[in-house]
Amino acid sequence: MRSCQAMVMVAFVVVSASESPASDPPRIAPGLTRVDAETIAGPKHFVDGYPSVNSDGTVNVVVEIPAGTNQKWEVAKDSGALTWTHLDGAPRNVAYLAYPANYGMIPRTLLPEDRGGDGDPLDVVVLGPALPRGAVVPARIVGVLRLVDRGEQDDKLLAVPLRSPYDQIADLRELDDRLPGATSILETWFTNYKGKDVARCEGFASREKALTILKTAMVSYARDHGRQPTSETPATCCP
């Protein structure tokens, strides 16, 4: 059974990716500037320069890690640039199977530490073909993977990009119908890629719960930056 699950997971990674994990350098979105080998700057601050949600209810996702790759990049909250993170003084590569989906964050969101979060923007897993690093893509939230990482709530919102093979998926039920086993693959990957017993899964929750988490994070970001929550938070976003 374990070998079968591993084969399915590898196949999922291969199907999701359109570039080799070993490509050097990884493909980046048009309009970005490669400052150096470990820094990519965009025309705007990736955290503060884009709205969380669009007028059609989709969210904006900044792609930090394309599907099928394992370089651990993230948006720096202070500079707003994409940076290759370090571990033990060296650029970090995830020592596990490559990411099974695109991974990124939602601008202008914050998981508050006083509510069990990690103080960072909301993480998002975007299903479908590999997207360029640094792309800002509209996506539809379909659910959330509830994770606890070293005692901190570390939820991963699940989304599908517009104009993709999966853009008609609306919720977790449709996700499992369309891509049988996908949620199991995501749970296996995110609870194991950092090592045994580091992260704990608390199950999946509905699209409605995911939107509640999103709205809370949007309000937290606005308050943390001395702003009033805008008209998109919390009631009118994400229909």
Position 115 confidence tier, pLDDT thresholds 50, 70, 90: low
Q: Cβ contacts of residue 151 below 8 Å, gap of 6+?
A: none
What per-residue string of b and e applies to 198-218 under the rule 16 or more CB within 10 Å gives b?
ebeeeebbebeebbebbbbbb
Q: What is the pLDDT of residue 226?
A: 78
- Single-letter amino acid code for the residue at 173: R
pTM over 0.85: yes
CB atoms within 10 A of CB 75: 22
Measured distance CA(115)–CA(228) in Å, rounded: 20
All structural domains of the chain: 2-236 (3.90.80.10)
| pLDDT, tens digit, 9 for 90 and up, residues 37-77 | 999 999 999 999 999 999 999 999 999 999 999 999 999 99
Task: Quote the tokens at residue 196.
Answer: 């045994």
pLDDT at 15: 41
Tokens of 148: 């606890």
* d(C-alpha 12, C-alpha 183), whole Å: 11
Q: How many CA atoms lie within 13 A of 21 on its CB side?
A: 21
Structure confidence at residue 3 (pLDDT): 46
180: which 2 tokens? Answer: 């049988």
Average pLDDT over the chain, rounded to whole? Answer: 87
